[in-house]
Amino acid sequence: MTAVVNSWIKAYLESGTVPALPDGHFIDGKVVPSLSGERMEIADPGMGRVFMSVAAAGADDVDAAVASALRGFRIWRDTAPMERGRVLARMAALMLRDMEQLAFAETVTVGKTYTESCNNVRSAARTFEYYAGAPDKLQGDSIPLGPAQLGMTLLEPLGVVTQIIPWNYPITTFARGIAPALAAGCSVIAKPAETTPLTAVMLAQLLCEAGLPAGACNVLLGLGTVAGAGLSAHPDVAHITFTGSPKVGTAVMTAAAQHYASVTMELGGKSPLIALADCDVEAAADGAVAAIYENAGQICSAGSRLVVDKRIHRPLVEAIAQRVARISVGHGLRGASMGAINSRRQMERILAFLDQAKALGSKVAFGGARHLDAVDPEGWFIQPTLLDDLATDHPCVQEEIFGPVLSVQVVDGIEDALRAANSTRYGLMAGIYSKDIGAALALARDIKSGQVTINNYWGGGVEVPFGGVEQSGFGREKGFAAVASYCRTKSLVAKVPYSQNARV
């Protein structure tokens, strides 16, 4: 850790003061206040208190951001593809240079641990690095129409696109949507969640330092009902990429439909981690813990359900409980292994699920309550929780809790495991642990999910397309599939002078 960031952390934990973090929108290459002067408060989840305020957008700010993005689009679209790639590559390097500052801001707004935040910056930098190779490889096709016609397709950028970013992974979601959009030649307006706005502005500043033209990436802070809704409904926004709840996603889609904008929807999940009878129990226990307790379980694709064969149920649950007992909970800047819940409202929602589970007589194998921290007693912490042997219709099996709660379903054999895996309305991700790769692949084929991993729940990376089915949404992010979301195909057919006698 550098001396500068170490001093930031020390001063913040001792006095609650923060360094000069950006507190305005980022429009036309600079940080600006709201035109109305409106502001909103930002809280530190680990301390449970407000520590700063930032600009809050109104309708005029939405219009200003879109107007700037239209100007930026014309410049960025006409920038040579190889130069667009160089800008994205420089961005990756700048993110790694400023990793600790970004991680500090992420930790104090999201509530996750500083180590997790640093890992998120590395992952996001890798995303920009990956898409840096894309701009000069976005090529169309030739279409065989015979000697008298020349047929081809061209890939064109959509124009101004909006990214509505969730509060659980602000840095990585920013990169996941904005890097492929910029690679395609679009301009972008990011709308971060109202509780976690800082890093989006910091990243937009770095993009300008990397050489992105002013206006090609703007950031609009504010409430979803104002800034997010305004961008979704704006007639000059060609595409909206949204990550969040199905309820809000439906509102975004409805607004986008009024002006025929396309959308990418990532709407959450209730993902199963399936442990078949022949699996390596220790490896499955490691995978289950990593799948649910990272970022205090606040992950759309978290493995929040353990679907375990009855033959290994007891030893696997015991192995998980032993690992959970070693998880320390506390402020993300104090060295804990699990941080806070992002808001008081979300903490209370999780606690309501746990209270309901207890009222139903559910077995709480570990945790199940609020964690009262000795150093930060007002922090929004939940104990890592393990609920054992739940029925398929149990609310903690069917509903997305979005917290550090692992719900165990006991099954009898692979067919029963498949039924349990497919028993919710979601289909974002699934993991399988088994030594029989044939059985695992057959199960993966039949699971209702956009992505399935085998013997490594968080397998893959930016190279692998990601997205859901059913109420987990549609469209794909990551991989080259993401770039296609920000392009339209233009077909071009030309009549070519043709004389059979002239052909050699």
Which residues carry out catalysis? 266, 300
For 4, the token pair is 């500068």
**Burial of 33 per CB tally in 10 Å (0-12, 13-18, 19+):** middle
**Burial of 337 per CB tally in 10 Å (0-12, 13-18, 19+):** middle
Residue 35 near residue 67 (C-beta atoms within 8 A):
no
Round to whole Å and give the CA distance between 416 and 103: 43
Round to whole Å and give the CA distance between 412 and 277: 9
Q: What are phi and psi of 151, to 5 degrees?
A: -120, 135
Contacts with 499 (C-beta within 8 Å, 6 or more apart), sequence order: none
Contacts with 465 (C-beta within 8 Å, 6 or more apart), sequence order: 451, 476, 477, 478, 479, 481, 482
DSSP classification of residue 378: T
Residue 373, SS3 per DSSP: coil
Number of H-type helices and E-type strands within the chain: 16, 20
Round to whole Å and give the CA distance between 403 and 270: 11
